Structure 1
């Protein structure tokens, strides 16, 4: 065990823990007023996030030592569990509706199954494509099977409805396919198909189309769809180099919706300015580069693809969130990894990070 620990990537671990602790601080400052108003306790959200952080640390430690081979062997069963969980979300007595979407399930503890599904899909895709290299010429045997399961899982997620998570999952699985060595012609075909379907689903419902148009011209509907992004712009514009100071955001005082969740980065910019952006983006870049390094040094193709999948799971989610708060991408409701308030997101991200740390202990030089 000590030999394995010595092989762990402690630079990666430091970046993950730094982001998580920084997230705790920002959840405290961005949610204090809301906690006082809604729960008569300014520390309400902070205390809950602290519990999730501690649980996440424990599970990250455990997932750093689990058998990756065993996880790969049971990966088809993990997909079955994913489907069952997503069905439970749509079950009237179990599914929990928030903000017009049914994305949570109450099994004594309320959690978001789609976050768990992301990890299960990464494990399954990594295991499958690591074993099919000699069959990549045969699309329907070497490439297609996981895509059928992806379509089933994506269908249940879209029924919640949750286009943002579906696109995130599509991008993660797409990254694994690209790095697996699948033929270039297959990759191009899959990219075109995925982009076409994403566009079709985006414009199929009026509210989704409104989100796309509002992010391009938010100031044309300041009292409606453009309000949240316009408020985010105000936070960004007032941040400057050093920000207004920790705890001094004005927009979090009821002006910026979801200030402690999806738009927590706007509060970070307003309070800490460029310094805050540098801390966050710097840590994500460390995770990206260390994750790629870990994948390249992995003992076999399964570990390599698993490392790639988890790295891109974190980074793509960060890009989607940062793109939304800055107006470069549509608002999708995707939280900022390790920082946004949300128990399921934080815990699952730390479990995924534990698996990446696990891979880092399995370099080519290690038996």
Structure 2
């Protein structure tokens, strides 16, 4: 075990911890007023996030040492668990509705199953495609089986009115397929099909279509769909180089919806300016480059695809969130990894990071 620990990527660990601790600070400053108004306790959200952070640290440590080989063997069962959890969300007695969406389940603890499903799907896809190289010429046997699983999972997530998570999961699984070495003709077909289906699902629901198109010109509907993005623009424009100072955001005082969750980056820019966003983006770039480096340093296809899947799970989510708050991408309700308030998201991201750290301890080792 000591030899494994010596191989751990401590630069990666440092970037993850820096982001998470910085996120705690920003959850505190962005949610204090809301906590006072809604719970008569300015520390309400910070304390909850701190508990989740501690739980995440423990689980990150555990996942850094679990048997990845065993996790791969268990991947079909993990998929069954995923489907069961997603079905429970749709069960009236267990599913929890927040902000008009049913995405949570109450099993004594309220959590969002779709976040857990992302990790399970990464493990399943990485394990499957690492063992099917000899079948890659055949779409039916070498490519299709996990896509059927994805279709079932995606349908259940879409039933929760969660197009953002579906697109995120599609991008993660698509990245694993591309890195696995699947034939280019199959990849192009999947990209066209996936893009067409995503567009169709967005178009057939008016609220989704309105949310997607509103980012093109939010000022056309300042009192409606464009309000949140326009408020984000105000935060960004107020930031400058150094920002207004930690705790001095004006937009978080009831003007910017979801200031401590989906749009926490807007508050960071307003309070800490370009310096703040540079710190955050810099940490994500470290995670990206270290994740790719880890994948290149193992000679086991399963470990390589697992490392790449987790790396792009984090990075794609960050890109979606940063694109939404800056108006470059539609608003999808995807939180900023390690930074936004949200227990399930933070804990699952730290578990995923633990698996990536786990892979880093297996450099040049094959099983």
> Which consecutive segments of 4 or more residues in structure 1 shift more than 6 A?
none
Q: Is the contact between residue 295 and residue 303 of structure 2 (CA under 8 Å) also seen in structure 1?
A: yes
Following the alignment from structure 1 to structure 2, what is the Cα–Cα distance between the partners of residues 150 and 366? 28
| 1:238 equivalenced with 2:238 (yes/no) | yes
Aligned partner of 1:41 in structure 2 is 41
Please report how far the alpha carbon of residue 299 of structure 1 lies from its aligned counterpart in structure 2 after TM superposition.
3.3
Please report how far the alpha carbon of residue 365 of structure 1 lies from its aligned counterpart in structure 2 after TM superposition.
5.5
Matching of residues 64-143 of structure 1 within 5 Å: 64-143=64-143
| 1:306 equivalenced with 2:325 (yes/no) | no
Following the alignment from structure 2 to structure 1, what is the Cα–Cα distance between the partners of residues 177 and 213? 31
Following the alignment from structure 1 to structure 2, what is the Cα–Cα distance between the partners of residues 241 and 357? 34
Q: Is the contact between residue 299 and residue 362 of structure 1 (CA under 8 Å) also seen in structure 2?
A: no
Deviations 1:142-186 (A, max 9, x none): 110000000000000000010000000000000000000000100
Please report how far the alpha carbon of residue 212 of structure 1 lies from its aligned counterpart in structure 2 after TM superposition.
1.6
Aligned partner of 1:252 in structure 2 is 252
Following the alignment from structure 2 to structure 1, what is the Cα–Cα distance between the partners of residues 129 and 283? 30
Please report how far the alpha carbon of residue 223 of structure 1 lies from its aligned counterpart in structure 2 after TM superposition.
0.5
Q: For residue 267 of structure 1, give the secondary structure of its aligned residue in structure 2.
A: helix
Stretches of structure 2 lacking an aligned partner (at least 5 in a row) = none
Aligned partner of 1:149 in structure 2 is 149
Q: Which moved more, 1:293-302 or 1:15-24?
A: 293-302
Following the alignment from structure 1 to structure 2, what is the Cα–Cα distance between the partners of residues 210 and 88? 29
Aligned partner of 1:168 in structure 2 is 168
Aligned partner of 2:205 in structure 1 is 205
Q: Is the contact between residue 88 and residue 94 of structure 1 (CA under 8 Å) also seen in structure 2?
A: yes
Following the alignment from structure 1 to structure 2, what is the Cα–Cα distance between the partners of residues 62 and 87? 28
Q: For residue 216 of structure 1, give the secondary structure of its aligned residue in structure 2.
A: coil
Deviations 1:226-250 (A, max 9, x none): 0000000000000000000000000
Aligned partner of 2:59 in structure 1 is 59
Following the alignment from structure 2 to structure 1, what is the Cα–Cα distance between the partners of residues 136 and 247? 54
Q: For residue 260 of structure 1, give the secondary structure of its aligned residue in structure 2.
A: coil
Aligned partner of 2:21 in structure 1 is 21
Q: For residue 97 of structure 1, give the secondary structure of its aligned residue in structure 2.
A: strand
Work out the number of aligned pairs and report it.
Answer: 367
TM-score w.r.t. structure 2 length?
0.99
Aligned partner of 1:276 in structure 2 is 276
Please report how far the alpha carbon of residue 83 of structure 1 lies from its aligned counterpart in structure 2 after TM superposition.
0.2
TM-score w.r.t. structure 1 length?
0.99
Q: Is the contact between residue 300 and residue 366 of structure 2 (CA under 8 Å) also seen in structure 1?
A: no
Following the alignment from structure 2 to structure 1, what is the Cα–Cα distance between the partners of residues 96 and 212? 26
Please report how far the alpha carbon of residue 213 of structure 1 lies from its aligned counterpart in structure 2 after TM superposition.
1.7
